[in-house]
Structure 1
Amino acid sequence: MLLAYLGLCLLITVTPGLDTAVVIRGTLKGGPRAGLRTALGCALGLFVHATLVAVGLAGLLLRSAIVFEAVKLAGAAFLVYLGARTLWAVRHKPPLPGEALPQDDTPSRFARFQSPFVQGLLTNLTNPKATLVFLATLPQFVPSGRPAEAVPIALGLALIAVLFSLSGLSLVAVAVGRVRHLLASPRVRRVQEALLGATLVGLGLRVAAE
């Protein structure tokens, strides 16, 4: 049973999703360390969903269509925001090789949202599909004959899934960080930022439309 669950976690991990796109963006923008912090935020957001499912609170979200739609639209708006900021940055003249990157002129009241960790956290916190994934998988592997142990076992299984996600996203951050220097030329950097920004906006719009 545990091997089957581990296989399922591996399959979910290698399937690219919203968190993968956000980690790639964070790594390209701030380097491997920023990508790793983004991955950590994504993993924590995922664990929040898993914990809600484990203690049975997720049902409140799923029983309320209004709450579900509100959370989904908030997540879609956040992805569109990240993509739009990336596309906006493309309009600015890129620095020449060896020059410092331009400072972010985001107002201080929005500065907290520029943290890679916070961006990763919000990406998964506002993705109700994470709740659906855990709600569909965890009950299959929690023994029904031991109700007193159901919550600890579910939390343990959730932690395994989160560790898989964190490991996979961290590998993405490290891999992208290794080839980041190949994207150092201004023209290439503008192209990759434009593609990534468009991808994030497209993902956000798709989430909102579903």
Structure 2
Amino acid sequence: MNELFILFTLATVHLIGLMSPGPDFALVVQNATRYGRETGVYIALGLSVGILLHSILSLTGVSYLIHQQPLLYTLIQLAGGSYLLYLGFGALIATWKNAQTDQPESGLTRSTLEISDNKQAFKRGFITNILNPKALVFFVSLMSSLVPASMSLMGKATALLILWSVSFIWFGALAWLLSTQRLQRKLLSATPYIDSLCGVVFSGIGLTIIYHCLSVWW
């Protein structure tokens, strides 16, 4: 199969996966609307670097080996589920406290989930992606089905570059769109609802992952 066709297919499938609602998407929506464009872009950078690392691990076979070790994979799932649950409960608790004190503008800025600088924004994006067990499975499947072992070293390096750049451009564009002044004015009053919705998404996915792990072992 022609390498250009493989790379085009890889980029298309990956973009479709990125556009599907999930923890990464919710993280950008929640924080770009709250903290603004710069924070959103750094979160997008963190997410894309996490995706790059997943891609490298999958391409080298490390992720496949992890997936074949039930105990290790379960521990990664539990870590990822617990982190998403932490983000979700944190968002819901902060929103509830703001409703009680009638200070909707404070939101997460008074909780342990506050993002105070770009380094923290990058870290939040990176950890959210790298601890997502569904991302590990997705990239193992993506690489094993679309990137043949016979592909040239240049082709594989290009594949990694494509996966990273498509991820950063998509999440960066999403953060940019959500942080325009006109949209920010409209979203300001909806911030508590956005936080609540994202909190439910994080909590729901986290609980589902943890429940699945426990049900398998018990």
TM-score by length of 1: 0.81
Unmatched 5+ residue regions in structure 1? none
- AA of the residue aligned to 1:193: D
Which residue type is aligned with residue 203 of structure 1?
A: I
- 135-144 vs 194-203, greater mean Cα deviation: 135-144
Query: CA 1:94/1:192 → structure 2, altered by over 3 Å: closer, same or farther?
Result: farther
Match of 2:53 among 48, 57, 82: 48
- Residue 154 and residue 184 in structure 1: after superposition, are their counterparts in 2 closer, same or farther (change >3 A)? same
Provide the alpha-carbon RMSD of the alignment: 2.8
Structure 2: which 5+ residue stretches go unaligned?
A: 213-218
Pair 142,184 (structure 1): closer, same or farther in 2 beyond 3 Å? closer
Give the aligned partner of residue 75 of structure 2. 70
1:53 touches 1:135 (CA, 8 Å); kept in 2? Answer: yes
The alignment covers a number of residue pairs equal to 200
Q: 1:61 deviation in Å?
A: 0.7
Say whether 1:116 aligns with 2:121.
yes
Q: CA deviation at 1:22?
A: 1.0
User: Is 1:183 the equivalent of 2:218?
Assistant: no
Residues 1:130 and 1:84: Cα distance change in structure 2 (over 3 Å): same
Contact 1:138 1:158 in 2 (8 A): no
Inter-partner Cα distance in structure 2 for 1:208 and 1:56: 25
1:157 and 2:156 equivalent? no
Cα 1:88–1:143 change in 2 (3 A) is closer
CA distance in 2, matches of 1:54, 1:102: 37
> What do residues 77-126 of structure 1 show as CA deviations (whole Å, max 9, x unaligned)?
111111111112211335477xx88853649xx989x9221111011111
Residue 185 of structure 2 aligns with an amino acid whose one-letter code is H
Alpha-carbon spacing, 1:96–1:164, altered in 2? closer, same or farther (3 Å)? closer
Query: Is residue 34–residue 116 contact of structure 1 (8 Å, CA) maintained in 2?
Result: yes
State how far apart, in whole Å, the 2-side matches of 1:127 and 1:96 are.
Answer: 30
- Once the two structures are overlaid, the 10-residue window that deviates more, 21-30 or 6-15, is 6-15
Report sequence identity in percent. Answer: 25
Report how far residue 33 of structure 1 moved.
Answer: 1.2
